[in-house]
Structure 1
Amino acid sequence: MEQTNEDRLKIALLAVAGAGLVIGLVAHLAGQAGIARILWAIATIPILVALMVQIVRSLLRGELGLDIVAALSMSAALAFGENLAAVIVALMYTGGSFLESFAEGRARREMHALLSRVPRTATRYLDAGLKDIPVDDVLPGDLLLIRQGDVVPVDGTVASPHAILNMAALTGESLPVSASKDDAVLSGATNAGDAFDLLATHQARDSTYAGIVRLVENAQRSRAPMSRLADRWSVGFLALTVLIAGAAWWLTGDPIRAVAVLVVATPCPLILAVPVALVAGLSRAAHFGILIKGARPLENMARIQSIILDKTGTLTDGRPQIASVRSTSDHSEDEIVRLAASLDQASKHPIAQAIVAAAGTRGLELVLPTETREFAGEGVTGLLEGRPVVVGGHGFVARHADTALLPLPDAEAGSVVVAVAVAGKIAGYIVMADPVREEVAEMLVGLRREGVQRILLATGDRAAVAERIADGLGLDAIHSGLTPDQKVLVVLTERKNGPVMMVGDGVNDAPALAAADVGVAMGARGAAASAETADVVLLVDRIERLRSGIEIARRSRRIAMESVVVGIGLSVLAMIAAAFGYLQPVEGALLQEAIDVAVILNALRALRITPSAA
């Protein structure tokens, strides 16, 4: 992760405090007590100045933090000649500040992947032929050529007889869509078939994909940062510290007792325990393939009450698979798959490639087709082992077969039926679908056990498909047919029930991921843009890791809170002892260091967290 100027300053201040303490101790042991006191003061002053600047900035923002206690203790120690105590406090503070900065440093970069996917040029027809022009120069009415694999640069309509489009980046639908002449096409879709012509209807800045980019940027800017856990306790602890220190000075007339109280009250349990426990939680989550981009997302993750799940690639695998095979002849099911896959080797259509992959999984031996001919968006014809074979849509295959049109097999909503004909007769059907992941039902039960109150489905798919996927999962609500901005609205609406997590994998999910309190991306095969935008990335293609991540987050936060409560409790007892004269400032600083060590050791227990779903 790239260091900021603020990070470099914190490292420098930590080095100054550490070097000043060590060199001063060497001078003191060498009998140069006066020089040692000067060195300790010199090492403390830069930390105190930086701290005062930070306090002023916080007050100008209307924030009151525990940094004031650290500033008071250092100032009082220097004022009354307790320089060794002052530099020990400075070292404790800079060490804690550095750890906190490290824990909260976010791994998120700018949305390079999202922006790089936006087409920069378009191929426009001119009288003299074709010319690549900047996408911003495309005007409504321009005729564009969309080559295979190209991302559609602007919204428009199909000007060719057929087009095959991969809409996963926009709707989350894994199955390709066949478009005919004059059908509308959204920018951001990918040409999954042969090249086709597009008649532009919008300029690039007014098109769908550009709107998605703006939604992500706006959602990221609008989300307010979370306050540090330590600052929630600041007012009460600060008031208690000043009360005990002031009472000790007023009742005894000894300012050193007040200094001792302030020194031992330095809130390092709050400053240290939280980042150490959370950094340990981040490390533990990474061990299970869960990349959490900083301490803030981890803490937010521990407080989640509602989870919104996308469908394709999240609840489902995201890749078409063979759901069933029906034979209408003497061919076996494996033989029908083998024939279809052998012929489909000549096609780049996603369904064809999925059938080829399924045949490989089944261990079927394919043969090379001859005299193949592909009809865009409809099917493929050719010869296999001397026999004519046709694979494609039901109507297409029926037109190439001598037998009458047979009734389609029962298929669930969202499925695609592929017909196979051999020697002029329909031999069978292959039903392709995007099934629910096997582990989803158990994961959802586990999420309920972790305290998640509401689980919802939000998808761009049709209602029938969404209801089929959600059947039996016990979801609290189903939202279907959503555009990217409507997904954002679902996230914002759900906030009334508490902190919200959004889980998705496509570019269309990126705005909702950015708007949620915690955005989770399926990063193993999902869109790079969603991984960039998300707070959490599942690096393995296993949705049950979502439950593991939440469990690690909640247990890490609980360990941090335990460390804070115990540490602050011990600090209060030490403050009382110092007020009664049982602790001198240096002794108080050293005792506080011992408390810090105990707190850190307890916080490091987060490194041993093993989620139940692992």
Structure 2
Amino acid sequence: MPDMVIHLSLFAIALAGAVAGFFVDRFGGGWSPDQIWTAATIPVAVALAVSMLRDMLAGRLGVDAIALVAMIASIAMGEPLAGAVVAMMYSGGNLLEDYARGRAERELRSLRDRTPRIAHRQEAGGLVDIAAEDVAPGDELLVRAGELLPVDGELLDARAKLDESAVTGEPLPETRARGEALRSGTVNAGEAFRYRASAAAHESTYAGIVRMVEAAQTAKAPFIRMADRFALLLLPATLIVAGLAWWLSGDPIRALAVLVVATPCPLILAAPVAFIGGVSRAARSGILMKGSSAIEALGQVRTAIFDKTGTLTEGGARLIALDTAPEVEPGEILRLVASLEQASHHVLAETLVTLAHQKRLPLSQPTAVREYRGSGLEGVVDGRHVRAGSRRLVLGDGPLPPWAASAGTSGDMAAALAVFIAVEGKPVGFLAMADAVRADAAATLQRLHAAGVSRILMVTGDDAETAQAVAAQLAIDEVRADCSPAEKVAAVAAEQARQPTVMIGDGLNDAPALAAANVGVAMGARGATASSEAADVVILVDRIDRVAEAVSIAQRTRAIALQSIVVGLGLSGIAMIFAAFGYIPPVAGAFLQQGIDIAVIVNALRTLVGPMEPGHARATVPTPRIAGEV
């Protein structure tokens, strides 16, 4: 029988008994009120005794023993009403805990419930419905409107509109173009489309998220384990205070009052509920915390180490500048070079072609294309000879044209790749491509500093010049370039010797450093499986500002858990003192005890509904510097 049904049944018995006792006391009946209150208390006491025995056989000793002693002592001392109230409040507290845990785990549980189960596979005879786990890499699949993507894959149709909110936390649908990677667990928010499976179901993004969620639900934070151990001190302390109250006053009722106001709930409930709430709150923003341990550790970090490529930068080439000769239309130059680049397999070619498509420029098919490996290419577009590539390939030993005199001299282009364009042998354009710093990177580092992260480093395998060009745009305290994976691990170890450290990265080469850090944060939006598996926290949306939000959520969660424990125990301690001096009778003490428990749990639940961070506003991508209008 589910625990919630048992707790509900016991609460109903205790509540009915308490009410019936009051009714008989006022109007009379066959049984006395004391008998009814005793009968209502016994089932709860028996259930609690069985639960405690089971825990003791498993090697655990819980502080719920205080409630059991209070119920037994209430009956033995002729105060069965106090026992009935304790029974009602104890079973009611368990119900409240069931609700709190259910509410806190709802978002995480919904991930498992949404696991894709059916796939439509294209076969020789047409579409065949198969189980998602039977999909193999290379299968061509159809996804109808409103359906979940069963596995990771590559889009075959021109475009698709996807609702990725369950995976990334982004509320608005995203449009994907042909050839882009698609992730399982996302929803088709547009027309039906075809895509090719790139992984089996158990190796796809969504299955990995579910595995990490299951680990998150079973992991227990050191903070919670510490609370469990400290809670054990409450039982002997309560018995000592109760014994002293009885001995000094000679009144056993004072001892009973002390027992009924002593509550373990601030310790045994507040911390788990608060941490589960924090994990759930993070999940709604596309941040997967692998359990309470991760969120507790993240709340204490004071040093942040960032990888560069794909973490602080976008991880791919982007047009940052386009200059043209006088009276030459920038849009036409971009159209010509993008048309030519259609014949190239270079990573920059795809970027330029995609940009031209976004600007709705009509591309032509190039002919007579010749590629100079490492330098550029040339060909014929619309009957005109076009050459694009390095300065030496396009300009030879000639001087730089006056309109391109600033090419490569500004700070933001120090690490950029320069591409010169000539049409019919005449230089007409210059463009700069670079792995640009993320639009939200600077604000993210500022927020980390504001959150108490006193030291921020960039540790990268890139060369020093490129690393310094990126660091110059950000509030970086130290840069370490040309680092191998082993050197990244060494850098993490050195920083950890000073203070708690978080490592943020996205690539396979970052996985060892992520695993070595106090907290590893993986940028997992692009499916970097090794780094995601090694990390304690996975950012499921391709935005660096979620790192600062994760730290903010972790700090707030830990603060609320600690606040609940300290305030709850403080109130309980004050109530015990008043009860010991005879100011709180047992029945009133039982109600007061439950009031404290409810306040503690409700306060812990605040972690579920933390303030929305500024990072939820969509970051804007900086527009390239273009001479004229494209």
Fold match by TM threshold 0.5: yes
2:248 to 242, 246, 251: 251
- Sort the Cα spacing of 1:71 and 1:103 in 2 relative to 1 into closer, same or farther, 3 A: farther
Q: Provide the rounded CA distance (Å) in 1 between the counterparts of 2:6 and 2:382.
A: 80
The amino acid of 2:242's aligned partner reads A
1:420 is paired with a residue whose SS is: strand
- Sort the Cα spacing of 1:519 and 1:589 in 2 relative to 1 into closer, same or farther, 3 A: farther
1:50 to 36, 44, 54: 54
Equivalent residue runs for 1:373-384 within 5 Å: 374=371, 379-384=376-381
Mean Cα deviation higher: 460-469 or 18-27: 18-27
- Sort the Cα spacing of 1:526 and 1:465 in 2 relative to 1 into closer, same or farther, 3 A: farther
Q: Provide the rounded CA distance (Å) in 2 between the counterparts of 1:296 and 1:94.
A: 26
The question of 1:297 aligning with 2:282 is answered no
Q: Provide the rounded CA distance (Å) in 1 between the counterparts of 2:526 and 2:239.
A: 55
Mean Cα deviation higher: 571-580 or 583-592: 583-592
The amino acid of 2:71's aligned partner reads A
Q: Which residue of 2 aligns with 1:518?
A: 519
How much has 1:317 moved relative to structure 2? 1.6
1:307 is paired with a residue whose SS is: strand
Q: Which residue of 2 aligns with 1:345?
A: 342
2:12 to 22, 34, 41: 22
1:497 is paired with a residue whose SS is: coil
- Sort the Cα spacing of 1:224 and 1:540 in 2 relative to 1 into closer, same or farther, 3 A: closer
Per-residue Cα deviation, 1:51-77 (whole angstroms, up to 9, x for no partner): 3345x35xxxxxxxxx64322442453
2:421 is paired with a residue whose SS is: strand
How much has 1:25 moved relative to structure 2? 4.5
How much has 1:481 moved relative to structure 2? 1.7
How much has 1:385 moved relative to structure 2? 0.5
Mean Cα deviation higher: 299-308 or 542-551: 542-551
The amino acid of 1:308's aligned partner reads I
Equivalent residue runs for 1:559-578 within 5 Å: 559-578=560-579
- Normalising by structure 1, what TM-score? 0.67
1:560 is paired with a residue whose SS is: helix
The question of 1:312 aligning with 2:309 is answered yes
Q: Which residue of 1 aligns with 2:207?
A: none
The question of 1:71 aligning with 2:69 is answered no
- Sort the Cα spacing of 1:556 and 1:73 in 2 relative to 1 into closer, same or farther, 3 A: same
CA contact (8 A) 1:44 1:87 kept: no
Q: Provide the rounded CA distance (Å) in 2 between the counterparts of 1:374 and 1:224.
A: 58
How much has 1:485 moved relative to structure 2? 3.0
Q: Provide the rounded CA distance (Å) in 2 between the counterparts of 1:463 and 1:440.
A: 19
Q: Which residue of 2 aligns with 1:588?
A: 589
2:457 is paired with a residue whose SS is: strand
The question of 1:489 aligning with 2:490 is answered yes
Identity of aligned residues (%): 43
Equivalent residue runs for 1:179-190 within 5 Å: none
Mean Cα deviation higher: 474-483 or 89-98: 89-98
Q: Provide the rounded CA distance (Å) in 2 between the counterparts of 1:235 and 1:530.
A: 39
Q: Which residue of 2 aligns with 1:541?
A: 542
Q: Provide the rounded CA distance (Å) in 1 between the counterparts of 2:249 and 2:63.
A: 22
2:383 to 383, 386, 397: 386
2:264 to 256, 263, 267: 267
Q: Provide the rounded CA distance (Å) in 2 between the counterparts of 1:37 and 1:558.
A: 37
Q: Which residue of 1 aligns with 2:505?
A: 504
- Sort the Cα spacing of 1:373 and 1:102 in 2 relative to 1 into closer, same or farther, 3 A: farther
CA contact (8 A) 1:337 1:359 kept: yes
2:430 is paired with a residue whose SS is: strand
The amino acid of 1:410's aligned partner reads G
CA contact (8 A) 2:221 2:296 kept: no
Q: Provide the rounded CA distance (Å) in 2 between the counterparts of 1:583 and 1:51.
A: 32
Could you list the runs of 5+ residues in structure 2 that have no partner in the other structure?
A: 22-30, 112-152, 154-214, 617-630
The amino acid of 1:49's aligned partner reads L
2:43 to 39, 44, 54: 39
CA contact (8 A) 1:414 1:433 kept: yes
2:466 is paired with a residue whose SS is: helix
Per-residue Cα deviation, 1:415-436 (whole angstroms, up to 9, x for no partner): 3233434334554433211122
Per-residue Cα deviation, 1:88-138 (whole angstroms, up to 9, x for no partner): 4366368648957996999799xxxxxxxxxxxxxxxxxxxxxxxxxxxxx
- Normalising by structure 2, what TM-score? 0.66
The amino acid of 2:523's aligned partner reads M
How much has 1:526 moved relative to structure 2? 5.5
How much has 1:405 moved relative to structure 2? 6.1
- Sort the Cα spacing of 1:382 and 1:295 in 2 relative to 1 into closer, same or farther, 3 A: same
Per-residue Cα deviation, 1:400-445 (whole angstroms, up to 9, x for no partner): x9x6566695365543233434334554433211122233223322
Q: Provide the rounded CA distance (Å) in 1 between the counterparts of 2:328 and 2:300.
A: 56
CA contact (8 A) 1:292 1:535 kept: yes
The amino acid of 1:609's aligned partner reads P
Q: Provide the rounded CA distance (Å) in 2 between the counterparts of 1:225 and 1:441.
A: 31
2:611 to 602, 609, 612: 609
The amino acid of 2:52's aligned partner reads L
How much has 1:480 moved relative to structure 2? 1.5
How much has 1:259 moved relative to structure 2? 4.4
Could you list the runs of 5+ residues in structure 1 that have no partner in the other structure?
A: 1-10, 58-66, 110-148, 150-219
Mean Cα deviation higher: 18-27 or 591-600: 18-27
Q: Which residue of 2 aligns with 1:469?
A: 470
Q: Which residue of 2 aligns with 1:226?
A: 222
Instruction: Show structure 1 runs of 4+ deviating over 6 A.
Output: 100-109
How much has 1:321 moved relative to structure 2? 0.9
Q: Provide the rounded CA distance (Å) in 2 between the counterparts of 1:90 and 1:390.
A: 80
- Sort the Cα spacing of 1:98 and 1:258 in 2 relative to 1 into closer, same or farther, 3 A: farther
How much has 1:368 moved relative to structure 2? 2.4
Q: Which residue of 2 aligns with 1:410?
A: 408
Q: Provide the rounded CA distance (Å) in 2 between the counterparts of 1:421 and 1:319.
A: 25
- Sort the Cα spacing of 1:535 and 1:94 in 2 relative to 1 into closer, same or farther, 3 A: farther
How much has 1:372 moved relative to structure 2? 3.7
Q: Which residue of 1 aligns with 2:453?
A: 452
Per-residue Cα deviation, 1:2-59 (whole angstroms, up to 9, x for no partner): xxxxxxxxx94454343233235446739573654442233222221233345x35xx
CA contact (8 A) 2:462 2:482 kept: yes
Q: CA RMSD in A?
A: 3.9
- Sort the Cα spacing of 1:52 and 1:406 in 2 relative to 1 into closer, same or farther, 3 A: farther
The amino acid of 2:90's aligned partner reads V
Q: Provide the rounded CA distance (Å) in 1 between the counterparts of 2:102 and 2:250.
A: 40
CA contact (8 A) 1:17 1:87 kept: no
The amino acid of 1:22's aligned partner reads A
How much has 1:470 moved relative to structure 2? 0.6
Q: Which residue of 2 aligns with 1:194?
A: none
Q: Which residue of 2 aligns with 1:598?
A: 599
2:503 is paired with a residue whose SS is: strand
How much has 1:329 moved relative to structure 2? 8.4
Q: Provide the rounded CA distance (Å) in 2 between the counterparts of 1:446 and 1:603.
A: 25
Q: Which residue of 2 aligns with 1:134?
A: none
How much has 1:306 moved relative to structure 2? 0.8
The amino acid of 2:11's aligned partner reads L
Mean Cα deviation higher: 75-84 or 38-47: 75-84
CA contact (8 A) 1:306 1:498 kept: yes
The amino acid of 1:497's aligned partner reads R
Q: Provide the rounded CA distance (Å) in 1 between the counterparts of 2:248 and 2:542.
A: 65
Per-residue Cα deviation, 1:255-279 (whole angstroms, up to 9, x for no partner): 5543442332222123333334444
How much has 1:333 moved relative to structure 2? 4.0
The amino acid of 2:248's aligned partner reads L
- Sort the Cα spacing of 1:602 and 1:20 in 2 relative to 1 into closer, same or farther, 3 A: closer
How much has 1:495 moved relative to structure 2? 1.4
The amino acid of 2:9's aligned partner reads A
Q: Provide the rounded CA distance (Å) in 2 between the counterparts of 1:100 and 1:334.
A: 57
